[in-house]
Amino acid sequence: MNNLARAKREPHDRVMERQYRLQKLYRMSLAEFQQLADAQNGVCAICFTAPIDGPLCVDHDHITGARRKLLCRHCNLVIGNASDNIQTLLSAVAYLKAHKQMAR
């Protein structure tokens, strides 16, 4: 479905699609998603900001499928692009710290 067709859909259709995707991908109801979002005060579990480009994303372990918390799209992409590799993320932090020191 193209973006124009997606934008023209009724709000009810978007809710139904969201419910379907949550159930299919994460075995989670829309009510469960909302409970998690409410428990996090509607903000990302990493950067603690409210998402501006869509709903929070369900973060999950790609090996076990276990759900973790809800993240903004940006933080979800950071973790995903690092393949959930803690060492890669720690190396990225060290890199940023080293280059921040050099800029001063």
pTM for the whole structure: 0.81
pLDDT, position 47: 97
pLDDT over 90 (residue 94):
yes
Span 17-64, pLDDT tens digits: 999 999 999 999 999 999 999 999 999 999 999 999 899 999 999 889
If one compares 8 and 57, the residue with the highest pLDDT of the two is 57
Q: Which domains are present in the chain?
A: 3-103 (3.40.1800.10)
Q: Which long-range contacts (CB under 8 A, 24 or more apart) does 29-34 make?
A: 33/58, 33/70
pLDDT, position 10: 66
pLDDT, position 5: 60
Region of poorest pLDDT, from 5-9, 38-42, 46-50, 76-80:
5-9
Q: For all residues of the chain together, what is the average pLDDT? A: 89
